[in-house]
Chains A and B, each alone.
Chain A
């Protein structure tokens, strides 16, 4: 017996008295699966025949996405008047949907970046899917600011969104929070895409060689092009790991900054209910909350369809539920704190706004938001709930709905009832807005189905690092 295992008699007596609970590290890949099994399982999905359910889902998704195409085509050909916007609510579903989708994106970056920095090894099997969700939801989010300008071709030149001088030689105003948004969202989208791609390079190399062996030159060539000649060299792994770690650090800064900047769209204005300093942390926690709900909404069916129970274990789902609970509780705290500050600030307009939100014309929206976002996550306190996957799925749908209503409540109630009662109004959306928004779910699921079909949805090389076989010290790491 080695010296560090020997325990003195007095220590043993203390141990017998306090009876410490054994706290083994959770096993992240169940059933002691071999590396070859992992490769076969993940690549098998891409190499196998396209299942019937995929075609059915893809057809349905495309039809739903068609609603967005119709909505946007009608908007661009006719003008922004086809949306239900009218003074005083000159802004509504476009920005609501934008913030909704950007918010969902945040969980992916949190899982891939912050959980990587904090060495939460359970992230390995789910980070590829979560990052895919980030990219696809940024794509959906980006549609709204790009198209709400109406004449979309003017977004780039002469600079409705991007900095390019207009016909009079005037540049966009960098004091505008909307211009900050352009930079934030473009940075977010492009850096997330790069992060996703860098993590995927080793797995693309695996697919390249497997297709080459099967004699499929075309697919081998396409995967090989993107694998850039990856060969698993230890000299390359050093750079790859370092780049990945740096991207995680940069991503952490990004996830906090982007939703803060999105919240500046509101916080830098003077509208009651918007002009508050709580907005940046409130938006970031709301974003992560909605994103984790969406991650669970996607992962639970994915786990069942592809039989990923050995990768995405009950422990993974448990962790995700716990983070959702923390974030949901933070959001609930922010809701209450807004009221306290409105009362403590003694500004009559601010106070009125919050009373109006809760009991005014839009009280139905407020209470949908409140019950979905504050009450729903509290179920996750219970272990029984966290292990009942069907129930979790239902709860996450409620959270997704609640988080959309949160943006609706913030944006519409404040605009419809601002300082001057003579300009008060009631906003309701037109069918064009509803169709457009509905369609983005089709875009989102269409992109996801393509991802499921053509890319390695579980990061094979990362999952292999958390298996027992990967430990060069045989579990005796000093």
Chain B
């Protein structure tokens, strides 16, 4: 079945090679493309023109949720469900509730940060054309890849290939979908 390829894939040997290539691809106006690197290359997000991650929003929401859960748990158990008279103290007092509220806030903001990462990365993603490529093993080791997807409006099998080759991309090939 002659399907349309997923895109073009090029290998780079050095971090600075992929970094400068990414700057050019970004400036050329491509949108649906990606760099595959074995570690977070410093500054590559800016070189690719990526926006700041939204993970903190998830984390903040989780933290607020945790604090509400902590207050709610203690308020419900001590002041609503079973009012226990303890030496005439108020049923709900915020001071001794602080440790539990803080810990629940910490726990939920941490879990939400991770959940946010998973959602934003669309994990678990057990199938992806890049994972099927035999280059992934070296790209998680010491090589760097640039993948430009065929669905990009700027994509052209010849011009994109020329661009990647001009930027120093090695072994520029079509990537099977």
Q: Tell me how far the C-beta of A224 lies from the nearest C-beta in chain B, rounded to whole angstroms.
A: 7
> Quick check: which of B3-11, B137-145, B166-174 contacts chain A, the rest being far away?
B137-145
**Cβ of B137: which chain A residues have Cβ within 8 Å of it?**
209-210, 213
Q: What is the minimal beta-carbon distance from A159 to any residue of chain B, in angstroms?
A: 10
Taking a contact as CB atoms under 8 Å apart, the answer to whether A469 and B14 are in contact is yes
CB neighbours of B125 from chain A (8 A): 228-229
Given the contacts A183-B103, A471-B42, A238 and B123 also touching, CB distance less than 8 Å: no
B73: shortest Cβ distance to chain A, in Å? 7
A206 at the binding interface (Cβ < 8 Å):
yes
**A49 on the interface (CB 8 Å rule)?**
no
Interface centre among A172, A177, A253 (most CB of B within 10 A): A253
Contact (Cβ within 8 A) A239 B131? no
Partner of A237, one of B22, B40, B123, B130: B40
Let me know if A344 is at the binding interface, CB within 8 A: no
Which of these, A234, A242, A469, A470, contacts B117 with CB under 8 Å? A242
The B-contacting residues of A in range 13-49, CB under 8 angstroms, are: 34-36, 39
A-B contact count (CB 8 A): 214
Given A174-B78, A471-B15, also A163-B73 (CB < 8 A):
yes
Interface: A243 (CB within 8 A): yes
Taking each of B19, B20, B38, B127, which has the highest tally of chain A beta carbons within 10 Å of its own beta carbon?
B38
Residue-by-residue, is A451-478 near B (CB-CB < 8 Å gives 1, otherwise 0)?
Answer: 0000000001110110001111110000
B residues in contact with A448, CB < 8 Å: none
Closest-CB distance, A296 to chain B (whole angstroms): 27
Contacts A233-B36, A246-B59; A187 near B116 (Cβ below 8 A)? no
Cα-based distance from A205 to B57 in the complex (angstroms): 27
How close is B19's CB to chain A, nearest CB, in angstroms?
A: 4
> A250 at interface (Cβ–Cβ under 8 A)?
yes
Residues of B within 8 A of A250 (CB): 59, 106, 109-110, 113
Q: CA–CA, A472 to B39, complex, Å?
A: 12
A161 to B99, CA, bound (A): 15
A170 CB within 8 Å of chain B = yes
- CA–CA, A250 and B60, complex, Å: 11
Instruction: Tell me, yes or no, whether A348 is within 8 Å of chain B by CB.
Output: no
- Known pairs A174-B74, A250-B106, A261-B99; A234 contacts B128 (CB<8 A): no
Chain B interface residue count: which class? 35 or more
Does A198 sit at the interface, judged by CB under 8 A?
yes
Provide the B64-99 mask, 1 if CB < 8 A to any CB of A, else 0: 000000000110011001101010010001001101
Most chain B Cβ neighbours within 10 Å, of A186, A213, A230, A242: A242
A191 x B106 contact (CB < 8 A)? yes
User: Is B104 engaged at the interface, CB distance under 8 Å to the other chain?
Assistant: yes
Count residues on chain A whose CB falls below 8 Å from chain B CBs. Answer: 69
- Set of chain B residues within 8 Å of A236, measured between Cβ atoms: 121
User: Counting CB contacts under 8 A, is A190 at the interface?
Assistant: yes
How far apart are the CA atoms of A173 and B102 in the complex, in Å? 17
Task: For residue A273, give the distance in angstroms from its CB to the closest CB of chain B.
Answer: 22
A301 an interface residue at 8 Å Cβ cutoff? no
Q: A190-B107, A250-B110, A469-B15 are in contact. Are A242 and B78 (CB under 8 A)?
A: no
Q: Which of B130, B131, B140 has the most CB of A within 10 A?
A: B140
A232 touches B56 (CB 8 A): no
CB-based contact A243/B100 at 8 Å: no
Contacts of B36 in A (CB 8 A): 231-234
Docked CA distance A254–B55 (Å): 19
Rounded to whole angstroms, the CA-CA distance of A425 and B40 in the bound complex is 60
A472-B15 in contact (CB<8A): yes
Residue of A at shortest CB range from B129?
A231
Of the candidates A163, A228, A234, the one whose C-beta lies within 8 Å of that of B50 is A234
Question: Of the candidates B43, B48, B100, B124, which one forms a contact with A174 in the assembled complex, judged by CB atoms under 8 Å apart?
Answer: B100
CA A150 – CA B36 in complex, angstroms? 53
Please give the distance in Å from B92's CB to the nearest CB on chain A.
9
B15 touches A238 (CB 8 A): no
Q: What residue of chain B has the Cβ atom nearest to residue A190's Cβ?
A: B107
B38 touches A35 (CB 8 A): yes
Chain B residue numbers with a CB within 8 Å of A235 are 34, 50, 121
Answer whether residue B37 sits at the interface, using C-beta atoms and an 8 A cutoff: yes
Of the candidates B45, B114, B118, the one whose C-beta lies within 8 Å of that of A247 is B114
B110 and A194 contacting across the interface, CB-CB below 8 Å: yes
Contact of B16 among A170, A209, A474 (CB under 8 A): A474
B44 at the interface (CB under 8 A from A): yes
A170 touches B82 (CB 8 A): yes
Closest Cβ of chain B to A418, distance in Å, is 22
**Given A175-B86, A235-B34, is A264 in contact with B142 using a C-beta cutoff of 8 Å?**
no
Checking A35, A191, A241, A264 against B107 with a beta-carbon cut-off of 8 angstroms, the contacting residue is: A191
Q: Is the CB of A470 within 8 A of B100?
A: no
A172 to B96, CA, bound (A): 13
Q: Please tell me if B136 contacts chain A, counting CB pairs below 8 Å.
A: yes
**Is B126 at the interface (CB under 8 A from chain A)?**
yes
Measured CB to CB, the closest approach of chain B to A208, in angstroms, equals: 9
Are A240's CB and B42's CB within 8 A?
no
Contact of A209 with B117 in the complex, beta carbons under 8 Å: no
CB distance from A338 to the nearest CB of B (A): 23
B contact residues vs A (CB 8 Å cutoff): 14-16, 19-20, 22, 34-45, 48, 50, 52-53, 55-56, 59, 73-74, 77-78, 81-82, 84, 86, 89, 93, 96-97, 99-100, 102-104, 106-107, 109-111, 113-114, 116-118, 120-121, 123-128, 130-131, 136-137, 139-142
**A234-B41, A460-B39 known, 9 other contacts, Cβ within 8 Å:** A174-B97, A177-B99, A228-B124, A230-B123, A231-B130, A232-B140, A234-B50, A242-B56, A460-B38
Q: List 23 A-B contacts (CB under 8 A).
A: A39-B38, A165-B82, A173-B84, A174-B78, A174-B96, A174-B97, A175-B96, A180-B103, A183-B103, A191-B107, A191-B110, A194-B111, A202-B38, A233-B35, A235-B34, A240-B40, A242-B52, A242-B113, A253-B102, A257-B102, A461-B38, A471-B15, A472-B19
